[in-house]
Structure 1
């Protein structure tokens, strides 16, 4: 190393902040190639026996320089925080794992107990993860609280290696009576995709200690999101979830909404640019209604959410005392929709928390819904019941300490009489009346855990409505019994049912290959009757009114019934005010 370079390094080190147990060489732009180039740096380290934090980010460290630094680290048994992001600029990718192994081995030899490890912005790929694999498994990382690996190009392979290292570290640390309790995990822009995300989800669920998870821009679609959602549910102290710029679609959003119902400490949700869409937004609004008591920020930007669904979200944040920011920018509201959303937030005295709507995509084009459905959601109809089956499926599982689950033995559903199945296959007023007392068995055919089937049964029965007294009474009594059951559970399940109903009635654009029914006055008149009953919550009426009032053209074929429904909804909503 030239004497001028050594003098330059010495001068830089003389200006380095030293204090509070920290040596910082952050952002000095040093090119450290060999042992000679780091001599001054090592002298500084040796003069600091109580070193607790070492910042090397913003420099470039070669293999020989790393080995020399590693030798000095072997005596630093008190080191806790390693800030080593952006540390290999210009280095061959093959060099980085070797350098990382040297540094990791030194930490293990020293007996250091790390709490923070930051290796972000080092494009080391899967091989780089192998370079820290042994360190992550070792006692030096049993105390790790924050792991930052943002923008490292780990890929699926690196994600799997990382997950296995964390799982093994947790196993070994648990055996010693001090299980690994990672609090902060950051791994955005790593191309983890579904396999990498699913592997990490197993580690997250096992640890159960996460407070912040940041995994934006990883090419994760609904399969990986569902796995992550299941893991999030088992991290009760979770405060921040940032999955920006992945692809949730409806199935992923429903799974994540379901998990959020169990989390009471969440303060920040960032699902921006995640294709949440309108049905997903409604599910999240339901969770806002019944949970997330201290939420401060909600980002649902660029999610193809339409005006009515955005208003449902806005209505749901009304009672959140800590709410500071709602971001619905870049959706499909249209100019009038943006204005309606601003007005709604202003009327709730929450106008200041609404983020800019300057990038709104405008009202969606009226196109066949199958053309806009993702390949991921071709089976959406079949999976809707799985996604909303909160109480009957997931809540019946018992999570063991090793992460395995078993299901409680549940009695099989009673078989429906042949007469009921025959009626549902070909419904008619005559057949409904012939059921007599067996009409009560129709309630067994609707379950909030299967919103699509429940909506289908509702429409079949409601379509039989007529003013003939006996038929009218039979239909309304049956509808009352069904809706009492469907709306008496959680807001999440009832909102899933209502959104499925709205899709089938043509008032909400859904995902997947679900056909809309031919609308007749009966369902509208049955809803008009139902919303006047005590079992029909006001916030459900507000949600229906939001969609009916903004999609009147879909109800033009039943104008008289539509007007009656709209008038009754208006009155119910005004009663709320």
Structure 2
């Protein structure tokens, strides 16, 4: 073939955009406020023939820019995949719905048929869900296979709107003879709670084609878990169930175990940090033992599981020849139980699949609390006001599970400051010290109503660095369920109030040390920094609004929050929510 023919062929191929059909502006940190600012993107979209996938994540798009980009999409009928996560960094939440409506209308005008829609890490709340409601019900989403709405602050109301939209989409598409066949659903860190989970469970029952469900850290307890379990029985192709960091208790775990007995394609079960307890673990072990031949991963970490129940789980995986990972870390096995567990796995030639047991939490002989009593308390304690869910945003980033929340100890407790006229049992003081050594939400809650006093006793309030260490350990275990949230914020308030009133307290040292331990300011010393800033940023947002917090610190914190730093990679929304609050003070 002559070289000129090759050249002509290359030109022809270029014009038809052979090679995947994807146009990417991912991670370019573009700030697009106006149509003019978006001119480059618009030009490339308009010139891209057969556009099938558009990546806009990692930029910040304003209302006018979104309208202009939408116009360029209005004739892109071939578009199938919209990767639009983390697309409104630093925007007011009131701006986001208008932008989403413009983009959604463009897709409907074009007659696109989406297979993937990713709007994760956009803190748009219930109003954002309303802005995509029409899109989700339209023909554009009749073909949807993957929906990713991780860390969007939907709340209960947003979850219910989403569930209704998905149900309607399935109904309308079914009437056309081609039911929507959603395979992947991701909605972690959205404060869905029981009401949102129950609404979505109803939608899942109708859909029936799910293969992966990820709903981590949503404040769901046993009523919501039970509803999801029942819905999963209608989705026989399920391969992955990830409900990490919700609250099953025994009742929810047993309901889920019954469902697992009916599912034959499960490969990954992640019920870590879900308080499945021994009763639930034994039920799950039975489901695993007599089924789930395709199981590759089982995570029951941090579930208050005692030794005998953990051994039952280990024995259940003997014939699971595809198993790659068993995580039972952070339970209550004791040294003897850990050794016994390792011996059992050795006898199966599966020692390599057993994860670390370094965070085991007891001697393995403790009695479990009565599940029914605990569940009644959870029902009372974890009810959140709907209006609160509608008004607040959540912190952002891809969710990392309990490993990130359990920060390494920063230094060791120093001298005890004894308040007068109050006697604290030695066991309580030791529990406070244990929390400071290995922080976790459960340990903080177990300190009870005197948790603030107990931690104050373990902290030298005249030492700014010690105050920072305690503050960050408390903030690091922040969770959106009402009980943990209240405990963290109350303790942080009490700690800082007392510290800031201590004669001679060094405020400059406090803010400098805080920035160092958060990884925002370099130090000459070798210091273990916090690995996940979502909790600290969220708690800082709370404390800076209090009268006791010195306003002089806010410009310093703001300056470092505005700097580019890899520490913010997994918490962009928490960062910008904090900045927005600072601007309004």
TM class, shorter-length: 0.5 to 0.7
**1:121-200 correspondence runs (5 A):** 121-200=121-200
* Aligned mates of 2:376, 2:54 — CA distance in 1: 45
Compare relative contact order (CA 8 Å, sep 6+) and give the higher one, 1 or 2.
2
Contact 1:251–1:377, Cα closer than 8 Å, also in 2 = no
Secondary structure at 1:362 match in 2: coil
Please state how far the C-alpha of 1:376 moved relative to its aligned partner.
3.0
- What is the distance in 1 between the residues matched to 2:209 and 2:42? 36
Q: 1:18 to 1:300 in 2, by over 3 A?
A: farther
Over residues 64-117 of structure 1, what are the superposed CA-to-partner deviations in whole Å (9 max), with x where a residue is unaligned? 000000000001000000000000011110110010000000000000000000
Q: Does 1:293 align with 2:293?
A: yes
Would you say the 8 A contact 2:307–2:364 is kept in 1? Answer: no
Structure 1 residue 243, shift from structure 2 partner: 0.1
Q: Please say if 1:227 is aligned against 2:227.
A: yes
Q: Distance in 1 between matches of 2:68 and 2:378?
A: 56
Match of 1:202 in 2: 202
In 2: Cα distance, 1:207 partner to 1:375 partner: 30
In the alignment, does 2:264 pair up with 1:264? yes
Q: Is the 8 A contact 2:249 2:371 kept in 1?
A: no
Residues 57 and 84 in structure 2, CA contact (< 8 A), matched pair in contact too: yes
8 Å contact from structure 1 (residues 328, 357) kept in 2:
yes
Taking structure 1 as reference, are residues 174 and 372 closer, same or farther at Cα in structure 2, changes over 3 Å only?
closer
Structure 1 residues 329 and 48, CA gap change in structure 2 (3 angstroms): same
Matches within 5 A, 1:298-447: 298-363=298-363, 366=366, 369-370=369-370, 373-376=373-376
Residues of 2 paired with 1:366 and 1:214: CA distance? Answer: 32
Structure-2 separation of matches of 1:346 and 1:367: 28
Contact 1:57 1:87 in 2 (8 A): yes
Secondary structure of the residue aligned to 1:321 is coil
Aligned CA distance change for structure 1 residues 84 and 378 (closer, same or farther; 3 Å): closer
Using the TM superposition, give the Cα deviation of residue 49 of structure 1 relative to its aligned residue in structure 2, in angstroms: 2.0
Q: CA 1:347–1:371 in 2, change beyond 3 Å: closer, same or farther? A: closer
- Say which SS state the counterpart of residue 312 (structure 1) adopts: helix
Distance 1:256 1:138, change over 3 A: same
2:104 paired with 1:110: no
Match of 1:34 in 2: 34
Cα distance in 2 for partners of 1:369, 1:267 equals 31
In 2, Cα distance between the equivalents of 1:42 and 1:301? 48
Tell whether the 8 Å contact from 1:190 to 1:218 is kept in structure 2 after alignment: yes
Superimposed CA distance per residue, residues 417-439 of structure 1 (whole angstroms, 9 cap, x where no aligned partner) = xxxxxxxxxxxxxxxxxxxxxxx
Query: What is the RMSD computed on CA atoms of the aligned residues?
Result: 1.7
8 Å Cα contact 1:80/1:113 also seen in 2: yes
The answer as to whether partners of 1:314 and 1:345 remain within 8 angstroms in 2 is: yes
Deviation of 1:364 (Å): 5.3
Q: What SS is found at the alignment partner of 2:269?
A: strand
1:363 positional shift: 2.3
Any idea what SS the aligned residue of 1:29 has?
Answer: coil
Count of residues in Structure 1 that have an aligned counterpart in Structure 2: 363
Asked whether the equivalents of residues 194 and 221 of structure 2 are also in contact (C-alpha less than 8 Å), the reply is yes
Compute the displacement of 1:323 (Å): 0.9
Distance apart, 1:375 and its partner CA: 3.7
In the alignment, structure 1 residue 75 sits paired with structure 2 residue 95: no
Q: Does structure 2 conserve the Cα–Cα contact (< 8 Å) formed by 1:114 and 1:144?
A: yes
1:343 shift after superposition = 0.9
Contact conserved, 1:125 with 1:155, CA < 8 A, in 2?
A: yes
4+ long deviations beyond 6 Å: none
Q: Alpha-carbon deviation of 1:348?
A: 1.3
- For the residue of structure 2 that corresponds to 1:36, the secondary structure is coil
Where does residue 538 of structure 1 map in the other structure? none
Cα distance between partner residues in 1 of 2:365 and 2:253: 23
Deviation at 1:210, TM superposition (A): 0.1
Aligned to 1:320, the other structure's residue is in SS state coil
Once the two structures are TM-superposed, the CA of residue 20 in structure 1 deviates from its matched residue by 1.3
Partner of 2:239: 239
SS at 1:374's partner residue?
Answer: helix
User: TM-score, normalization: structure 2?
Assistant: 0.61
TM-score (norm 1): 0.62
Cα distance change on mapping 1:283 and 1:43 into 2, 3 Å: same
Deviation at 1:273, TM superposition (A): 0.3
How far 1:354 sits from its partner (Å)?
A: 0.2
1:248-292 CA-partner distances (Å, limit 9, x unpaired)? 001100110011111000000000000011011110111112111
Report the counterpart of residue 250 of structure 1 in structure 2.
250
Contact 1:18/1:24 (8 A) holds in 2: no
Alpha-carbon offset, residue 368 of structure 1: 7.8
Taking structure 1 as reference, are residues 134 and 368 closer, same or farther at Cα in structure 2, changes over 3 Å only?
closer
Query: 5 Å matches for 1:426-505?
Result: none
Does the aligned pair in 2 maintain the 1:38–1:65 contact within 8 Å? yes
Larger deviation, residues 213-222 vs 363-372 = 363-372
**Structure 1 residues 112 and 284: alpha-carbon distance in aligned structure 2, compared to 1, 3 A threshold:** same
Counterpart of 1:376 in 2: which secondary structure?
helix
Is residue 275 of structure 2 the alignment partner of residue 275 of structure 1? yes
SS of the residue corresponding to residue 23 of structure 1 reads strand
The alpha-carbon distance between structure 1 residues 368 and 19, as it changes in their structure 2 partners (threshold 3 A), is closer
Q: Is the 8 A contact 1:306 1:363 kept in 2?
A: no
Offset of 1:369 from its aligned partner?
3.5
Compute the displacement of 1:335 (Å).
Answer: 1.1
CA positional deviation for 1:371:
9.8
Would the alpha carbon gap of residues 169 and 371 (structure 1) be closer, same or farther in structure 2, given more than 3 Å must change?
A: closer
